[in-house]
Every structure is written in C-alpha cells, then in structure tokens.
Structure 1
Amino acid sequence: MASEDSGDGLREETMSANRRHTWEGCSVLLDINDGDRLVFAMLTHGATLKIGKKKFPLAPLIGCPFGSLFKVETSSNGSHLARFFPSSAPEAATEQVKDHCHASVEFKDNRSLVDNNTAQGLSSEDIDSMRREGATGEEIVEALITNSSTFDKKTTFSQEKYKVKKQKKYAPKVLLRRPFSRSICEAYFKKSPTRIGSLRVDALSLLLSMANVGAYSDVLVLDTVGGLLTGAVAERLGGTGYVCCTYFGSSNLPIDIVRMFNFSSDVNSRIVQASFTDLIGEDNDEPSSQPDNPKAHAANTNTLLSADSIIPKSLVPVLHDESLEEVIVSNAKFSYSKEIFSELNPMQTSPHAHSRSLNEDGRNAQPCSISEKLIPPGRKASTELIKTWKRRGFTSLIVAAPEMEVDSLVQKLLSLICYSGPFAVYHHCLQPLAICMHNLQTSKMALSLQISEPWLREYQVLPSRTHPHMQTSGFGGYILSGIRVCGGSGS
C-alpha cells in the first residue's frame, strides 16, 4: 500500500515538473489548419481524431511538447499523424518579402479566368492513385499546381490562396496547444459562445483584474459559464488561496471545464463548492445539518426556497450543448468525452469510479493515466474553511451568471466578502447592471462603482494586407465593479 502511494506521488511529481510535454490522460486543444477547427481531446492510446473522412490515432502526440506541429503521413501501416518542423523564420520572412516585391511590379489580374471545371488536368482517380503509392500531401499539392492551366495566370495573392486551400484539404496540419484560460475561452467563444455565456477573453481578463485576484486570495465565485471562470481564477492563484464556487438551492452548478486545465492535486484541492445557505448559516458542526431548533430549521427552509426562486429552470439540469459534440474527440475504447463533459455531479463521483468502470468492462484497471489519481476539483468545502470565511470573509467576489437576476444575487453575496473587498459582475446586458449599480448606491453597500464595456479588435498584419478581421466580435458584454464598504443594509 505504501509503495502504491509513493508511486502515485512520484508520478504526480514527475507530471508537475514536466508540464511542457503531454502525458497520457492529459487534456489538449488541437488546432487544425490554423484555426479552422478547434478540438478538445484527452490523449490516450485509443483516442482518435477525425480529419476529413478519416480517423487518426492520437498516440503519437503523447510525450510531445506543447506547440508541436503534426501533419498527415501515409506509410505501409496506413495514414497517421507525424511530427514535423516548419522552415526557419528568417527563410520564411525572406520568401515573403520576395513575393511582396514580385507582387508590387506585376500587372496581372483574374479577369480572363473562367471557372468551367476544365483547368485542372488531374482527376480524383489520379489523386487516389498517388495516395495509394504513398505520396505526401505536399506532393499532391505540387501535382495539382503543375497540372493547373490557370495557376500561372493568377495573381500572387490568388496563387497563395490556392495553395492554402489545397494544403488544408490534402496536407492538413494539427497544432498541439496547451489548454489554459485564454485558449479555452477563445475555443468556446468561437464554437459555442452560449456555453460560456458569451464571455470573451478580454472580458474574462477584466473580471480577474477588477476583482484583484492574486496569490493567497480567497475568491468567492458564482459561475454559470461551465467552470471557465472558476478555472481562470484557480489558474491565477497558482495553488495558493481558495476558490469557492457557491450556488443557490440544493444542487451545485456544473464546472466541467475546470478538468481541461490539467490542474495538479494541489490546485484541485483548493477548488471547493459551498451553498449559499451554508455560507450564511449559523456555526454548526456540519454544514447543512438538521438543526435541533424547529424555528431554525424553518428559517433555513425559507432561505433555501427563496434562493431556489432566483435560479431559472434552464440552469437546474447540467448544461449540455449538442453543438459541442464536434469539439469532443471520439474514443473507441474509453468514453472520455463523458469524462470531459460529464453530466454527473463531480461531488457525487468517486475518484476511482473510472477504474471501477474499466473493471466492469473487463479491461485492465492498471493506472495508465496520471489524471485518474488526481483529486477531482469541486469538492465540498470543509467545516473549518466555512467557519474561517464566516469570520474573515472572502477577499473578493466574481459573478458570471447572465441568466440569473443580478440585483438580488449581488446584494446577497456582498455580505460574504470582507470590507474593502473588490467585486466584479459580468452580464451581457446593460440594464440589469445599471439597476444593480443604482441599488448598491442607494443602500451604501459599495463605493467606486463603475460599469465598463470591454473592447477588442483583432488585426491581420501582413505586407500590404493589414486590416481588421472582417468577422470579428463587436460586443463583449458589460462588467460592474466596485468595492464593498461598511454601511447600509448589507452590513
């Protein structure tokens, strides 16, 4: 038994010391063809990734550093993903400058080009034959360019677009990215913004800054955006302090996105959950225990019922968006998509439930993944922690609950943070925050109140082609921030 514990500790220590490389069981973000598709995956020997009409195993990605590039190669064993190293930056820059200089002196245009499907002399049968012979994607692209009768008549920019289009189809590239706050937020905002409440990456950064989230902070979070806010706060704390996810009613809110951050046990142990009733209740030996006084029991029941009235019915079940099925990598041997986007309450799931499921299927239950031994995030807060927070208060408060009534929520939660503690509230509409700001001013519960609108514009920076992206997001919601003070009805 002691040897198993020491082995688990050694594996976890090795994983923490080697965070620059992937390991079996870790979550990754796969960027296919420079952002055309963003796929979350859990790296195992049985996991596969679908590109086009084919599935490729993800085993070659295990042990590679984050930021590695992979391309599809064909061998005697079939098609697979192989790591490759792109050309050096100086050579690419020199080639780009030459293309730009050539483009500045040419006088060609595309007026004489007619799309009649006769310009390409290479048929689909010829391409399939090249693939069976083991031709690489680059060779197929070069053959398409050579057999195109209109390629030389195109402008330089049109030729480059043609190459990129064919490369994405016949020579796709996969970038192995580390899942952290920015990459996860950008991926969800692009694929399924409703899953995270349309929370943009700049709004997420402002929430953390305005709430003064730093080391050794105890942050109270109301997170209805799937756990993205909770994971971002825990990432900034870096294993110091605590993140307490509160909820109203009897069931906690889902924080499944936290599992994608690849947190260690030290960080996961500092992500806890506690109901609002437990945080404001009297000091008992156990939170939410049945009191001996029937009047106190009636008071707790009334508080719970009033809290339930705040929660819309759409948030009672765990959020599961069908549009995210494209983001989940299918696995023929293990149901890892259920592990990433689990509809089970993480508080009710045993840390060894996955091992038991493997035994029931008749498979080997040996610890092949380090993540199976980690402490799951979102455990119930201990009695000592709750007593400490009742005595000292939280250092800051962050609310991201676009589907809830913000005004009543903030006034209830402000009483849980310490005096001079900052808070930040996100909402995609202005009017609820304006009403909340007015009520806080009249009740004298907070100072330095302001409503900010984050603004972000992404640019394409290329020679003679620098301009804002045409499909950029023009709206990022609103953020109400302030500082809690002593005074008013909230005291």
Structure 2
Amino acid sequence: MSDKNGSSIVNVGDYVVIQRQKYSKLHKITKKCKVSLGKDQVELDIVVGKPVWTTYKMEIKSKKLFKLVECDCAESLAEQLIRDVSSGMDNRNIYDDGNSQLLSKDEIVGLRDSGLSGPEIVGHLIGNSKTFHNKTEYAQEKYLLKKEKKYFEYVTIRRPTLRLVTQIMFKQDPAKIMWLRMDTISQITTMVGIHSHGTYLLYDSGCLGLPAASMLNYIGENGHVINIHPGTLPQKEAIQAMNFSESHLSRMMTVNIHKLLCNVHGDTSNKCQESNSVGDLSKLAHFSDENLPKVDENHGSVTSEERAKICQNGRKCSDDQSTGEEVDNKKRKLEDGGTNLAKRPRWELEMDRAACLLRTRKADGLVVVAREHPVNIVTSLLPLVAASRPVVVYSAVREPLLDLYMHLKSRGDVVGLRLTETWLRMHQVLPDRTHPDMLMDGGGGYLLVGTAVEGRRC
C-alpha cells in the first residue's frame, strides 16, 4: 500500500482485510478480482486506487453477484426499521410454533433474487410476521441484528494489521497456527524484549509465518530477524499479508536450521551432511558451542557500516573470518566453471548473511515455536544467544515444555525459568448487558521463559 496525501492507497498486489459487520476476510487484490462473502460473489475492481477505511455498499448485479458502490457510511438495519415499529410489554404470550412467518422459504429466496435490498427484504419479513409487533423492544432489536448478519449490505476495506491477521487466521483454522492467539503473540514479543535494532533468532515449524510477521513488525532499520525453519521452504502467508516493503523484508533472513548450524560451526563433515535431512531434528544434539567462533560480547558497539563490511553482498566475511583454504576453494570453483556468485539462489545468500552476522555478534533473544519436541532445537540454538538475553519457547501442550524445563535446569546456562499458561476470556460490553462470553477458547498454549547466562553446559 502506497501513501498519497497522508492516506493509504490500495494497489494491485496488496493484501486487504474485507470487513462485513463482524466478519473479516483476508484477500489479495488482483486485476478483475472477485471475493466470496458467504454465498455471495463481490467484485473488487473499484477498491483499486481508493484509500483504506473506505465503505462500500453492495448492489446486486446478477444472481449472487454484487458490485461495490462507494458511500459515506454504513447504516444499521436495526436502526432503519425499528424507528416506527410498535413493541409489546413482554413476551409471555409468544410461542415458537414455527408458523409465525407467513412467507415460505422459496418466497424469501425469490425476494432476494428479484433484486430487493436488505432493508426491503427484512421489511417484508416484519410485515408478514404474526409475533414481531408483540415482542419487546429488546427482542425486536435482537431479531433485527440476527437478520442483519445475513442481509448486511456494506463492506469496509481495511489495512492488514498484526491483530487482524492473527484473528482471521485463528478463526479460520487455529490448528494451522498452533492455537496462537493475539494475546499469546503479544506475550512472546514482550518476554523476548524485542527492540528495533536487535538481532533475534526465531525457530518456526509451521504457523503460517505468524511469529515471523509479529517480530518483523517491530524490527527497525538496523535490526535483524533470523527466521529458522526445519524444511525446504518456510511458511510466509502472514508475512505476505502484512504488505511489508522490500527494504523491510531485507531485515529478515530465512535459513534452514541444519545448514545454518553447519555454516556457523564450520562443520563440513559427513555427520553434519547426514543431519541435513528435512524434518529430522533428532541429530541436532551433536552441535555444541565448543568450536563456535568467539565473538565480541559487546556487540552493541558494532555499527551498521561495520556489519556491512563483515557481510558484504551476503557472501564474504572479514579477512580474519575466512581461511586461506576457503578462498582457494572459491577460486577453484570459479576457475572450473562452478556456480557464479551472481546466480546463487536467494536462500544461499541469506544463509551466508545469517552465518556472518552470528559470527560477528550473538543474538539478543531466542524464540522457539515448534511442533516438534523442543529440547534438541533449544540446545542447538542456545550457544548463538548472548548472555543475559531472554529465551522464549511456545508449545500448544505442556508436557514438552516440562521436559525442556528439566533439561535446562540440569544444564545451568538458563536461569529464571518460568512455565506459564496463557488464558483469555472475552466479555460482551453493552449497556446493562455486560457479561463474559458464554463460549470461549479452551486455551492459548504454554510459554517457557528464561534468561541465558554463561554457565556450566552439559
């Protein structure tokens, strides 16, 4: 989304949030695109070039196909129809016998197919109801709000935010994001102490890129997020939905965990190559910090210019980091017609950038959101975390974190361990009708938080 005169403009290729009353949907804008809202198809051509937070009215174009017309505001069905309607004193004489509505189902469907608007259809329903005028004002409003969910004619185009993206993905399928709610993500970013110029390690094994999007959202110009994944390609749905610019996306390096550890440790043995199998995390235990290059613990003094010299073009480290043998091997590959540096794949360039960065400075925090058992993962990545820096591990269930808790206790290099459960209950807040929601989520997962220190490592 580009800014024009201080307002965000919707362009082709951008992701937007389409809000229809309380229903929200994430959608990518394309040329001549349509979106499904329930059983209705809506054309979105008009939103291109218009600012976000613009409200549109759905006007029927053909059967179940609507076009959008820009309008000033959305009008509530209940406010339009309840003004001149009389109401009863109580509902004691009203019985739900199924015969209170005189219109049949086919007749109601025919009203909509004929091109009538939502208020007109609901007006016919009210006029053909035997009991509506005898209901109390509160019962009438409740009935109209229920009908409004089905016949609401207004949509609002919104800019995707971290809260909206998280809520939409959670409502669609919470299992795909490991039941990560917005309150859990806020706790993770708070506990890891994320700041704009820090360097953070993130291990994500299947949450649609939601943890990476949340951390990248807070990273500034001199900050970095090293997004570590176990497979061949990471999940990036949430990252793409946030409409980050190319310069902002360049602050994140996406690497495979096996290749990163081999690169940082300088291990080219067969044992390391064997552990590169996708999804096999049981062989990570052989990585330790014994052969890890020593870095300056006062990494806050490293400027962006110095870091650029260290990791120039995402490939070359400083002269004291590269051995003569490595330089000879590179020259030999080029002389033998090997891979040209300019044609190297992007993942390999990001791998070298991340390895050079971790050889120069240790990370300011570690976040692990793993579907697998986290013991080997955390043990392998802990040597890359600076002392007095937070370590946060999330799991949808408690037992793996209990095992990790006992393991870190025995190591002695992580202190202040706390295992907590995230819990949230939503409330309805209305005049004289404020109460907790009757239905709520069973749980938001568990967090294990600690602080890395220099100590005994087993």
TM > 0.5 between the two?
Answer: yes
1:120 partnered with 2:99: no
Whether the aligned pair in 1 keeps the contact of 2:263 and 2:355 (CA below 8 Å) is no
Q: 1:461 aligns with which of 425, 429, 433?
A: 429
Corresponding residue of 1:205: 186
Whether the aligned pair in 1 keeps the contact of 2:10 and 2:48 (CA below 8 Å) is yes
Corresponding residue of 2:237: 256
Report the residue type matching 1:475 in the other structure.
G
Q: 1:445 aligns with which of 409, 413, 427?
A: 413
Report the residue type matching 2:270 in the other structure.
A
Instruction: String of CA shifts for 1:220-267, please: whole Å, max 9, x gaps.
Output: 11112120000111011145411111134x624323321111010111
CA distance in 1: counterparts of 2:204 and 2:39, whole angstroms: 38
CA distance in 2: counterparts of 1:29 and 1:377, whole angstroms: 30
**Structural mapping, 1:422-433, within 5 Å:** 422-433=390-401
Report the residue type matching 1:120 in the other structure.
L
CA distance in 1: counterparts of 2:238 and 2:348, whole angstroms: 15
Give the drift of 1:445. Answer: 1.2
Report the residue type matching 1:392 in the other structure.
R
Larger radius of gyration: 2
Whether the aligned pair in 1 keeps the contact of 2:225 and 2:252 (CA below 8 Å) is yes
Give the drift of 1:416. Answer: 1.1
Corresponding residue of 2:34: 48
Corresponding residue of 1:32: 20
Corresponding residue of 2:366: 397
Report the residue type matching 2:40 in the other structure.
K
Q: 2:276 aligns with which of 304, 308, 314?
A: 304
Whether the aligned pair in 2 keeps the contact of 1:127 and 1:140 (CA below 8 Å) is no
Whether the aligned pair in 2 keeps the contact of 1:16 and 1:264 (CA below 8 Å) is no
Report the residue type matching 1:246 in the other structure.
I
Q: 1:82 aligns with which of 48, 65, 69?
A: 69
CA distance in 1: counterparts of 2:400 and 2:90, whole angstroms: 56
- The higher relative CO (CA closer than 8 Å, separation ≥ 6) is in 1
Whether the aligned pair in 2 keeps the contact of 1:48 and 1:58 (CA below 8 Å) is yes
Report the residue type matching 1:189 in the other structure.
F
Give the drift of 1:141. Answer: 1.9
Whether the aligned pair in 2 keeps the contact of 1:122 and 1:144 (CA below 8 Å) is no
Instruction: String of CA shifts for 1:330-358, please: whole Å, max 9, x gaps.
Output: xxxxxxxxxxxxxxxxxxxxxxxxxxxxx
Report the residue type matching 2:22 in the other structure.
D
CA 231–54 in structure 1, closer or farther in 2 if over 3 Å, else same: same
Q: State the number of aligned residues.
A: 392
Report the residue type matching 2:367 in the other structure.
I
**Structural mapping, 1:8-27, within 5 Å:** 14=2, 20-27=8-15
1:242 partnered with 2:224: yes
Corresponding residue of 1:214: 195
Give the drift of 1:283. Answer: 6.3
Give the drift of 1:110. Answer: 4.8
Give the drift of 1:180. Answer: 2.1
Corresponding residue of 2:356: 387
Report the residue type matching 2:203 in the other structure.
L
CA distance in 2: counterparts of 1:126 and 1:278, whole angstroms: 62
Whether the aligned pair in 2 keeps the contact of 1:454 and 1:478 (CA below 8 Å) is yes
CA distance in 2: counterparts of 1:306 and 1:87, whole angstroms: 51
CA distance in 1: counterparts of 2:92 and 2:19, whole angstroms: 32
Instruction: String of CA shifts for 1:446-477, please: whole Å, max 9, x gaps.
Output: 11211122221111011121111112113111
CA distance in 1: counterparts of 2:112 and 2:61, whole angstroms: 12
Q: 1:266 aligns with which of 240, 247, 252?
A: 247
CA distance in 1: counterparts of 2:127 and 2:279, whole angstroms: 69
Report the residue type matching 2:445 in the other structure.
G
Whether the aligned pair in 2 keeps the contact of 1:425 and 1:480 (CA below 8 Å) is yes
CA distance in 2: counterparts of 1:206 and 1:172, whole angstroms: 37
Q: After TM superposition, what 4+ stretches of structure 1 lie above 4 angstroms from structure 2?
A: 14-19, 75-78, 121-127, 376-380
Percent of matched pairs sharing the same residue: 27
CA 115–437 in structure 1, closer or farther in 2 if over 3 Å, else same: same
Instruction: String of CA shifts for 1:103-151, please: whole Å, max 9, x gaps.
Output: 9xx741154334333533587547736764x542222222322332211
**Structural mapping, 1:151-162, within 5 Å:** 151-162=132-143
Whether the aligned pair in 2 keeps the contact of 1:399 and 1:425 (CA below 8 Å) is yes
Runs of 5+ consecutive residues of structure 2 not aligned to the other structure: 284-344
Whether the aligned pair in 2 keeps the contact of 1:71 and 1:173 (CA below 8 Å) is yes
Superposed CA RMSD in Å reads 3.5
Corresponding residue of 1:326: none
Corresponding residue of 1:406: 374
Instruction: String of CA shifts for 1:396-419, please: whole Å, max 9, x gaps.
Output: 111111x21111211111111111
